[in-house]
Amino acid sequence: MKALVYHGPGTKAWEEVPDPTIVDATDVVVQVDTTTICGTDLHILKGDVPAVQEGRILGHEGVGTIVEVGSAVNRLAVGDRVIISCVSSCGSCSYCQRRLPSHCLHDEGASGVGWIFGHLINGTQAEYVRVPFAENSLHKLPEGVSDEAGLMLSDILPTGFEIGVRNGRVKPGDVVAVIGSGPVGLSAIMTSGLYGASRIIAIDLDDNRLELARTFGATDTVNNGREGWRDEVMAMTDGLGVDTSMEAVGVPATFAAAIDLVRPGGTVANLGVHGAAVELPIQDLWIKDIAITTGLVSATTTPMLLKLVAQGKLHPEQFVTHRFRLGEFMDAYDTFGRAAETKAMKMAISR
């Protein structure tokens, strides 16, 4: 088969590799019908994730069709259309039992890390992929749900919901600010309404992304490159600050802004992946009763979100801005890597 292979920092290739095979009785092999590129893949290509070894097939999101099942697999069958979750779950370790498969104590390369595709084992940017712990790590795709909609349930939609909305303790009537209108920020915007937020304020430097945020459910938008932007936000909250402030960028300035915007008794939910330390002004936060939450997606809410998609309550296919064929992976990476120029959000890379 062909796959997108990592060959060290700055180097990748779409090339011939051996077909995956069943290794353990709980495995299945999936034909990848549609996959995508994540910002994490760009971090890997920069050399920021040293656990990824040369020769690794990248990718941790996908929708496909099962073509082979292991002898212990009973609830899945050849021909099933499935969502491949970005987090794998053995289903039996202490963390999986606590519904924290992001820290699964599996034996697939590094115990305690649930993200294994494109990281510790070969991933989904390929024609076929081996899926360990298949019955706990795949979700059957209902009739009527498109590949592109299902693809967004592999990673970004549960990330925005679990780490932003759920961890952020959003309640009916709350005012929410989401700093950063990239895919994860838009996922938090799309799902904040599920918990009854009365006002969802999208904050970004890019007016095009702010316009897009309104189509995902933002009630208000603020460009934080303009003078007086903080006053705009505070005016929407009677001067008190927001109930939940979500940081979805991953840089010190936006984390500081998230803290600055939250009201006493509120919550700062950190979704962004930070590559540098941030300042934590604990001397100011304690007296304001501020809670700060973090987290790595466990994708335990994927079945619930899938039901909402199947019923037409959520439309995650709108994340897709560009479409490519599997053989056009190099062009897809180029387009995604120049997102500010190309206005790329998520790729749909299909057979």
What is the pLDDT, as a whole number, of residue 219? Answer: 98
Question: What type of residue is 261?
Answer: L
Strand partners, 322: 347
Q: Reply yes or no on whether the pLDDT at 99 is more than 80.
A: yes
Per-residue pLDDT reduced to its tens digit, 130-164 = 999 999 999 999 999 999 999 999 999 999 999 99
Q: Reply yes or no on whether the pLDDT at 109 is more than 80.
A: no
Domains of the chain plus CATH, in order, are 2-155+299-350 (3.90.180.10), 160-293 (3.40.50.720)
Per-residue pLDDT reduced to its tens digit, 17-37 = 999 999 999 999 999 999 999
What is the pLDDT, as a whole number, of residue 112? Answer: 80
What is the pLDDT, as a whole number, of residue 276? Answer: 86
Q: Are 276 and 299 in contact (CB under 8 A)?
A: no
Per-residue pLDDT reduced to its tens digit, 210-224 = 999 999 999 999 999
Least confident residue range of 41-55, 78-92, 312-326 = 41-55
Per-residue pLDDT reduced to its tens digit, 56-68 = 999 999 999 999 9
The whole-number average pLDDT for the span 231-257 is 96
Q: Reply yes or no on whether the pLDDT at 298 is more than 90.
A: yes
What is the pLDDT, as a whole number, of residue 274? Answer: 87
Per-residue pLDDT reduced to its tens digit, 318-327 = 999 999 999 9
Q: What phi, psi does 181 have (nearest 5°)? A: -110, 40
The whole-number average pLDDT for the span 174-192 is 97
Where does the pLDDT of residue 107 fall: very low under 50, low under 70, confident under 90, or very high at 90 and above? confident
The whole-number average pLDDT for the span 260-274 is 96
Crossing angle for the helix pair 183-192 and 207-215, nearest 10 degrees? Answer: 30
- Give the separation between CA 54 and CA 51, rounded to whole angstroms: 10
Listed in order, strand segments (DSSP E) in the chain are 2-6, 12-16, 28-35, 62-69, 81-84, 128-131, 138-140, 175-179, 199-204, 220-223, 242-247, 262-270, 291-293, 320-325, 346-350
Read off the DSSP letter of residue 111: T
What is the pLDDT, as a whole number, of residue 273? Answer: 87
Where does the pLDDT of residue 108 fall: very low under 50, low under 70, confident under 90, or very high at 90 and above? confident
Query: Look-up: residue for tokens 């801005």?
Result: 321
Tell me the CB-side half-sphere exposure of residue 31, using CA atoms within 13 A: 12
What is the pLDDT, as a whole number, of residue 275? Answer: 80
Question: Do β-strands 175-179 and 242-247 pair in parallel, antiparallel, or remain unpaired?
Answer: parallel
